[in-house]
Chains A and B, each alone.
Chain A
Amino acid sequence: MPDIDEEIRDTSKGMTSIVKTVVRFALGIIVIFGAYIVLYGHLTPGGGFAGGVILACGYIVLTLAFGRQIALRKMNNKAASILDTSGVLAFLAIGLLGYTGGYFFLNFLGRGKMFDLVSAGTIPLCNIAIGLKVTASLFAIFLALSIFGRFISSLVDEDE
């Protein structure tokens, strides 16, 4: 992709081209690993929160290396907030769907075979909802603090 190469050569935004190149290779691995942790949360250690943190860290690395513009193009403040909210609502909806079997948060889907990817009923769905929520909200917190931090540092400059 030519525009990415230009971004890497452009030293005015973000960090040096070494960091940018490394991040470009590592980012895919980070995202895949995060998605793996979320999806396999019901079989191995991990789950929605841990995977979501890894995914959010992917975005944060992107922001640090390339500057805010590129990261905001992938997911801006508003999109993060909407994803965050829909994650919560999805989780709550899974809980309410349990009423089809008579209880709040009842695991109403079939359990499936042990150690299969599609098993354990609603738990993988819960993990995905939590992963969505954690990714979006951690990234939103990071964005909010970094925008605010820039504002604060401009205040400091004024004082000096």
Chain B
Amino acid sequence: MQGFYPLFTAIPLGMAFINLLMAKISKKVADYIAFIATGVLAVMAVRMLFEPVFVYKVGGWPPPWGILLVSDGLSSLLLVVINVIGFLAIIFSTKYMTTYTAKPKYYTLFLLMIAGMNGVVITGDMFNMYVFLEIASIASYALVGFGCEKEELEASFKYLILGGVASTAILFGIAFLYSMTGTLNMPDLAQQIEILGMNKALGFVIALFIMGFGLKASSVPFHAWLPDAHPSAPAPISAMLSGVLIKALGVYSIARIMFHIFGPEPMISSILMFLGALSMVVGVFMAVGQSDVKRMLAYHSISQMGYVTIGLGLGLNPNVDPAVAALGLFGGLYHLVNHASFKSLLFLCSGSFEYRTNTRNKYEMGGLIRRMPITSTTCSIASLSISGVPPFNGFWSKLIIIIAFLKAGYPLYGAIAVLVAFMTLISFVRLQKDVIFGTLPEKFREVKEAPLLMTLPLIILAVLCLALGVAYPFVDQAMLQAAKDTLLDKMAYMSLLTGG
């Protein structure tokens, strides 16, 4: 399995272009190619969970010169999230995307996006990370504007401009790091910075990275593009963007760089915690008055990503008890996985409703549980998960984060987390009332349940939501623990340079 690690980027890249070539002969093959490619990737990603930590040298070049690929707990975790959600989104797309033209091109862009995200997650080289980040971003810009209507183009253009600024800031930071250390290899960078110590130039680099990756993760002062871009994309793409892309490009990169390259630092920690708290509050308050279901979900994405960021921030704090910091980090990572499952489920549900009713306005819908029972039930489960109702997964991760903050002596942040959880609950109860229950409007009397290929991913994700909550001590604790231990152990990461 170790020898095939680069295939995580090679398979989607190759399939994307084979797909384009085959589409010239027959348009039907595109579905199967995308399905098989993402299916194989999902199986491979699950297999990667059982591999030990290893380093892959591309082209056989030894570390400081060649490109390293690193496989450890964190990257395995993200690989599973990306590829499994991607697989389910592809299944959903086969039916949903028939309402759009140029389906083969859609699959090509989708596979390119997956290739970029997998690349960001597996690489151990700064510039390589930047290149893959750009591949994923460019594919996502095009996918947001895929419908080519007025709103979609406007959203895509805004996203494009802000994404361009973010990439520039990231490249600026990488150039600064290279000029200081003379290396781009991430374990090597960690060693060099350990020798250099903290100085003002490094502070500038950290500011640039927080701005750049914060824009990609849509943390609050940089969130302007997300509420436009995510609702405008086709539903499976919204699910991918909200569920996976902002995590793989934004949060993962912040975690990897801050924990492993710069190491625990009170300044970074307090900035991240502040940004997280701000995102939580602003996102949830902006979500209140939205009538468009997908737009409301997008604001909730900002708010929920705040939980992940605040957890990471606590984990970076060297001044609190290490056990408590580890708990906060664990909660953040757990919430990352949970958010991927329930937010992609919610977006897919909204796509399913839209497919049958042709509207996204929640005040026009109502009583749909009588006509679309499966979609409505899964939507209910996801709403309960995101608002933190006990048996479901969202509750446990929020609880862990809140407990960690109270133990660490930040009662204010703990109180904010509780308040935001409460606001989220109110918001989703209103969504339930408006869309699923209530009176069925006259014009939706004849609405049918969505086709099987669309409900199947919904059911799988709903089961995942429940399983991640109920079976949490047995199933996913080991995998989250591995990711958490990886992040906290900077020494092990630095030793990959020589040990691998």
Residues of A at the B interface (CB closer than 8 Å) are 78, 81-82, 85-86, 88-89, 92, 95-96, 98-99, 101-107
CB B337 to nearest CB in A, in angstroms, measures 29
Residues on A with C-beta less than 8 A from B17 are 85, 88-89, 92
B18 touches A104 (CB 8 A): no
A86's nearest neighbour on chain B, judged by CB, is B21
A104's nearest neighbour on chain B, judged by CB, is B6
Nearest 7 pairs of A and B residues by beta carbon: A104-B6, A103-B60, A105-B59, A85-B17, A88-B17, A85-B21, A92-B14
Q: List 23 A-B contacts (CB under 8 A).
A: A78-B24, A81-B20, A81-B24, A88-B13, A88-B17, A89-B17, A89-B21, A92-B10, A95-B6, A95-B10, A98-B59, A99-B3, A102-B3, A102-B60, A103-B58, A103-B59, A104-B6, A104-B7, A104-B10, A104-B56, A105-B59, A106-B59, A107-B59
A130 CA / B24 CA spacing, docked (Å): 22
B18's nearest neighbour on chain A, judged by CB, is A89
B18 touches A101 (CB 8 A): no
B59 touches A89 (CB 8 A): no
A34 CA / B295 CA spacing, docked (Å): 50
Residues on A with C-beta less than 8 A from B58 are 103-105
Instruction: Tell yes or no: B158 within 8 A of A by CB.
Output: no
Which label, helix, strand, loop or mixed, suits the secondary structure of the B interface? Answer: helix
A95's nearest neighbour on chain B, judged by CB, is B10
Given A88-B13, A104-B59: 5 more A-B contacts, CB < 8 Å: A82-B21, A96-B10, A98-B59, A103-B59, A105-B59
B window 1-59: CB within 8 A of A: 3, 6-7, 10, 13-14, 17-18, 20-21, 24, 56-59
User: Total A-B pairs in contact (CB under 8 Å)?
Assistant: 44
Q: Most A CB atoms within 10 A — which of B20, B57, B60?
A: B60
A101 touches B21 (CB 8 A): no
A45 CA / B84 CA spacing, docked (Å): 44
A103's nearest neighbour on chain B, judged by CB, is B60
Which label, helix, strand, loop or mixed, suits the secondary structure of the A interface? Answer: helix
Residues on A with C-beta less than 8 A from B59 are 98, 103-107
A35 CA / B24 CA spacing, docked (Å): 29
Q: Most A CB atoms within 10 A — which of B6, B57, B58, B59?
A: B59
B window 59-96: CB within 8 A of A: 59-60
CB A69 to nearest CB in B, in angstroms, measures 23
A98 CA / B17 CA spacing, docked (Å): 20
A64 CA / B400 CA spacing, docked (Å): 65
CB A6 to nearest CB in B, in angstroms, measures 34
B24 touches A89 (CB 8 A): no
CB B85 to nearest CB in A, in angstroms, measures 25
A81 CA / B20 CA spacing, docked (Å): 9
CB A39 to nearest CB in B, in angstroms, measures 22
A92 CA / B14 CA spacing, docked (Å): 7
B20 touches A85 (CB 8 A): yes
A49 CA / B269 CA spacing, docked (Å): 42
CB B469 to nearest CB in A, in angstroms, measures 39
CB B244 to nearest CB in A, in angstroms, measures 24
A85 CA / B104 CA spacing, docked (Å): 14
Contact status of A103 and B21, CB under 8 A, knowing A92-B10, A92-B14, A96-B10? no
B24 touches A106 (CB 8 A): no
Residues on B with C-beta less than 8 A from A81 are 20, 24
B20's nearest neighbour on chain A, judged by CB, is A85
A105 CA / B20 CA spacing, docked (Å): 24
B24 touches A82 (CB 8 A): yes
A106 touches B60 (CB 8 A): yes
Contact status of A89 and B3, CB under 8 A, knowing A103-B58, A104-B59? no
A95 CA / B21 CA spacing, docked (Å): 19
Residues on B with C-beta less than 8 A from A106 are 59-60
A121 CA / B180 CA spacing, docked (Å): 34
